[in-house]
Amino acid sequence: MNNKKIAVIGLGYVGLPLAVEFAKKYKTIGFDINKTRVDKLKNAVDDTLEVSSKNLIAVLVRDTEIDKKVGLIPTSEEKDLINSNVFIVTVPTPTDRNRRPVLKPLLAASETVGKFLKKGDIVIYESTVYPGVTEDECVPVLEFISGLSLNTDFFVGYSPERINPGDKERTVTKIIKVTSGSTKESAIEIDDLYKSIITAGTHLAPTIRVAEASKVIENSQRDINIAFVNELSKIFNLLDINTNAVLKAASTKWNFLPFKPGLVGGHCIGVDPYYIAQKAQEVGYHPELILAARRINNSMGEHVANQIIKLLVKADKKVKGAKILILGFTFKENCPDIRNTKVVDVITELNEFGTSLTIVDPWADPKEVENEYKLSITKEFPEDKFDAIVITVAHNEFLGLNLNLFKNGNAPVYDVKGITEKQSDGSL
């Protein structure tokens, strides 16, 4: 194990925490094509807030310490990968506008790794994919670029990431890691490598395809369960029944699954089901339940917006030009991640009605939101009064907030997350 020189390709929400843990025991190169991101990491600044400055400083290798046997060297220079013998790929695997899997970042990372691949090296993929991508899509790229052969010259593995952005309790080392390899021997070697940093332990899957499938169904299962309660919330709304009260009552049974309705975004739950659906369709099977769940969850932004408009009408508020305060923009609470946030769907629909929106999020980066969504947000609470207030994300800053400070008269409150039931006029 001591001769392992790790290279983590991609330093986002998944790659950086992993690289930091490996850097405590191994010489670790953290590679990312985003030079701005790398420069900030060199100065111990992580914009994702997954790793503290203190923890980064503890593992960073300075220019004067380049010969250290352990530690993290962030870089955007490909040439710095040359001495690595274990490459771990953690790049994004998004979908396109038609919700089809996009493997371009993964294949580009494979090309980069292929340039530096040597005999005896190991390449491990962590990016979420459908079964078969590692061996059928990535390996041919590695072989073509390197001129080497799988299982003769080099080996591959798949170990799906299980990072939960913003979660400071279930961090990377405290979550059981699924591992796999292209041969029995390489699988054991990969499993041992992860065991050296994962205190929660590992699970060695029998094949790479099993490991790939295990990851993609984790979030698909969660998506389906949330879709079920989202559909129930629509039904109960029509019946004038409080959904949260129903779920609280049902949860008293020991085997009831306590899922809650909401906007299902992010880079995992809102994306991964399309990967397994794509593969299913390729082999001639139409995944009805998986895609139905996606349709239900994708409809929730429009549903929330329509409920807000109804509350405005009930309150005798003029809809066109109504000033609405949106509290929250990120895809989940207490996290700066704005990838695939479904708050955008609410905003888009409300804009269709000609409302005037003010978006407040103390966690999101306004510049990133502007670049990604062409929307203006603020981190500060406004001094204005509003015709309606919508809580879309359960940030700590919104808990116990006196909403009366922002109300214009009898302004209704719609609480998507159910965190202010006493002040709320409506919720999912």
Residue type, 15: G
Using an 8 Å Cβ cutoff, are 242 and 236 in contact?
yes
233 three-class SS: helix
Catalytic annotation on 335?
no
Q: 267: which residues sit within 8 A by CB, 6+ positions away?
A: 13, 92, 94, 331, 337, 339, 340
The neighbouring-strand residues paired with 241 are: none
- The count of other CB atoms within 10 Å of the CB of residue 371 is 9
CB 93 within 8 A of CB 80: no
**53 vs 27: CA distance, rounded Å:** 19
Q: How far is residue 13's CA from residue 331's CA, in Å, rounded to a whole number?
A: 14
For residue 136 the two structure tokens come to 């059928």
Longest dimension (CA), the chain: 74
Q: Which of 244, 149, 157 is nearest to 204 (CA)?
A: 157
Helices and strands (DSSP H and E) totals, the chain: 14, 13
Dist CA 344 CA 266 (whole Å): 12
Give me the residues paired with residue 414 across strands: 390, 426
Tokens 């159910």 belong to: 418
Q: Catalytic pick from 89, 268, 269, 271? A: 268
Print burial letters for 278-306: b (CB count within 10 Å at least 16), e (below 16). ebbeeeeeebeebbebbebbbebbebbbe
Q: Residue 57 to residues 6, 16, 182, 286, 415: CA-CA distances in angstroms?
A: 19, 13, 36, 50, 40
What is the distance between the alpha carbons of residues 227 and 259, in angstroms, rounded to a whole number?
A: 9
Tokens of 389: 């207030």
Q: Which residues are catalytic?
A: 268
